[in-house]
Amino acid sequence: MRTCWLRALPMLLLMLSPGSVKLFAESPRIVAHRGLLQHAPENTLSNFRACLELRLGFEFDVAKTRDGHLVCLHDETVNRTTNGKGSVSELTLAEIRRLDAGSWFDPRFAGETVPTIEEVFQLVASYPRHQVLIAVDLKSEQVERELVQLAQEHQVLPRLLFIGRTIADARVRASLKAASPRAQTAVVANTPAEFLDALRMADADWIYFRYLPSATQMEQLRAARKQAFIAGMTVSGHAPENWQQATDLGIHGILTDFPLELSRLLREKLQP
For 114, which DSSP code?
P
Q: What is the pLDDT of residue 268?
A: 85
Query: How far apart are the C-alpha atoms of 204 and 166, rounded to whole Å?
Result: 9
Q: What share of the chain is helix, strand, coil (3-state, %, to 5)?
A: 40, 15, 40
In CATH, what number is assigned to the domain containing residue 197? 3.20.20.190
Triad 161, 154, 139: Cα angle to 5° = 40
Compute CA distances 62 → 81, 163, 164, 241, whole Å. Answer: 15, 10, 9, 31
pLDDT average, residue stretch 67-71: 97
pLDDT average, residue stretch 228-255: 97
86-106 pLDDT per residue, tens? 999 999 999 999 999 999 999
pLDDT of 7 > 90? The answer is no
Query: How far apart are the C-alpha atoms of 60 and 42, rounded to whole Å?
Result: 9
Whether 12 is covered by a domain: the verdict is: no
Whether 167 is covered by a domain: the verdict is: yes
Whether 23 is covered by a domain: the verdict is: no
Whether 159 is covered by a domain: the verdict is: yes
Whether 70 is covered by a domain: the verdict is: yes
Whether 4 is covered by a domain: the verdict is: no
Containing domain of residue 75, as a range? 28-270
pLDDT of 246 > 90? The answer is yes
Whether 53 is covered by a domain: the verdict is: yes
Query: How far apart are the C-alpha atoms of 147 and 135, rounded to whole Å?
Result: 13
**What is the average pLDDT value for the chain, to the nearest integer?**
91
Which residues are bridge partners to 63 per DSSP? 71
The DSSP H or E segment spanning 189 is strand 184-189
> Is residue 179 a contact partner of residue 149, using CB atoms and an 8 Å limit?
yes
41-57 pLDDT per residue, tens? 999 999 999 999 999 99
Q: How many domains does the chain have?
A: 1
Query: How far apart are the C-alpha atoms of 167 and 131, rounded to whole Å?
Result: 23
| Cα–chain center distance at 105 | 20
Q: Which of 266, 271, 268, 210 is nearest to 28 (CA)?
A: 266
Whether 184 is covered by a domain: the verdict is: yes
Query: How far apart are the C-alpha atoms of 227 and 238, rounded to whole Å?
Result: 23
Query: How far apart are the C-alpha atoms of 244 and 235, rounded to whole Å?
Result: 10
